[in-house]
């Protein structure tokens, strides 16, 4: 299965910056991995236009669980779809922390995304303190159970899971290959137990200080289906170096 390199721009990307990131991606040529950019909501429609015909996907960074309504400042999954997005990141640790998002809320958003025809990228990951006391697997297991819907109309969960240990996000401290291998194997077994063959095929991305220098090693770990890249996705050169890493 082809690996996916997804860029989470977070709260970065004025028009000029978005153009400088996206421009080189349009002319990247043939790659062995798929590319996805998730700009802030204000740049989604323009990014979709700039990337038309390039094969590079576009996604949102969050959505509301409802399709529409009195929710000032929120954006629904059908709105993202309408703007041309194909994916949406859900349950990122920054949303869990900054906005107090809970597993049941993330599960509802995941169902809303699937119903709107978006592929959800559901994020899970433990804090440093939880890892120190050997709770990493318990925490991630509970997040998977709580955040992923059992099924949705028409079939099993067809989204993507991203393992992002919180202590590795934006810190330059990457998880060791052994830690990534153990957690991705655990996530794979949980997904297979719940979703059967669909769980075997689910892409499991690693995120947390992925850089051009460590990408090849991380992407070679079994059950790593790609990367969710923050800081390094803001420079087209670095993002493409990650996508090409061997
Ligand atoms: P960094 O790559 O900046 O560590 O961010 C990872 C992340 O949170 C991607 O969603």
Chain segment 35-87, per-residue pLDDT in tens: 999 999 999 999 999 999 999 999 999 999 999 999 999 999 999 999 999 99
Helix (H) or strand (E) holding 4, with range, is strand 4-8
92 catalytic per annotation: yes
Chain segment 120-167, per-residue pLDDT in tens: 999 999 999 999 999 999 999 999 999 999 876 556 678 999 999 999
Say how many Å lie between the CA of residue 51 and the centre of ligand 1: 22
Domain range for 164 is: 4-243
In order of 4, 143, 191, 231, the CA distances from 223 in angstroms are 12, 19, 12, 23
Sorting pLDDT into bands at 50, 70 and 90, what band is 197?
confident
| Helices 177-195 + 136-147 axis angle, to 10 | 40
pLDDT at site 152 = 61
| 48: CATH | 3.20.20.70
Bridge partners for 37 per DSSP: 7, 58
Say how many Å lie between the CA of residue 66 and the centre of ligand 1: 27
pLDDT at site 155 = 65
pLDDT at site 177 = 96
Count of structural domains within the chain:
1
pLDDT at site 151 = 74
Pocket of ligand 1 (CB under 6 A): 8, 92, 164, 169-170, 207-210, 228-232
Residues 6+ apart with CB under 8 A from 210: 174, 218, 227, 228, 229, 232, 242
Let me know: does 233 contact 239? Beta carbons within 8 Å. Answer: yes
pLDDT at site 162 = 98
Please give the average per-residue pLDDT across 212-223, as a whole number.
Answer: 98
Report DSSP letters for 12-55, one per residue.
---HHHHHHHHHHHHT----SSEEEEE--GGGHHHHHHHTTTS-
Checking phi first, is residue 239 left (phi over 0); if not, alpha (psi -120 to 50) or beta? alpha
Average pLDDT value over all residues in the chain: 96
* CA nearest neighbour of 158 among 113, 102, 104: 113
Say how many Å lie between the CA of residue 240 and the centre of ligand 1: 16
Query: Closest Cα to atom 2, ligand 1: which residue?
Result: 230
Report DSSP letters for 139-189, one per residue.
HHHHHHHHHS-SEETTEE---EEEE--GGGTTTS-PPPHHHHHHHHHHHHH
Q: Which of 5-9, 34-38, 174-178 has the lowest mean pLDDT?
A: 174-178
């Amino acid at each position: 299965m082809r690996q996916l390199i997804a860029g989470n721009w977070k709260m970065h990307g004025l028009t000029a910056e978005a153009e400088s990131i996206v421009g080189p991606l349009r002319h990247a040529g043939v790659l062995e991995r798929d590319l996805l950019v998730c700009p802030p909501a204000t740049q989604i429609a323009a990014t979709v236009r700039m990337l038309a015909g390039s094969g590079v996907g576009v996604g949102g960074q969050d959505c509301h669980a409802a399709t529409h309504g009195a929710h000032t400042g929120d954006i629904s999954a059908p709105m993202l779809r309408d703007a041309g997005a194909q994916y949406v990141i859900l349950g990122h640790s920054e949303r869990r922390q900054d906005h107090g998002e809970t597993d049941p809320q993330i599960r509802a958003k995941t169902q809303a995304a699937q119903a709107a025809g978006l592929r959800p990228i559901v994020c899970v990951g433990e804090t440093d303190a939880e890892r120190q006391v050997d709770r990493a697997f318990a925490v991630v297991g509970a997040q998977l159970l709580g955040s992923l819907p059992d099924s949705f109309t028409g079939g099993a969960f067809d989204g993507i899971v991203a393992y992002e240990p919180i202590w590795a996000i934006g810190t330059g401290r990457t998880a060791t290959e052994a830690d990534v291998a153990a957690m991705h194997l655990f996530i794979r077994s949980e997904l297979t137990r719940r979703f059967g063959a669909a769980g075997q095929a689910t892409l499991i991305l690693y995120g947390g200080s992925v850089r051009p220098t460590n990408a090849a090693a991380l992407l070679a770990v079994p059950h790593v289906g790609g990367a969710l890249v923050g800081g390094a996705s803001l420079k087209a050169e670095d993002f493409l170096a990650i996508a090409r890493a061997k």
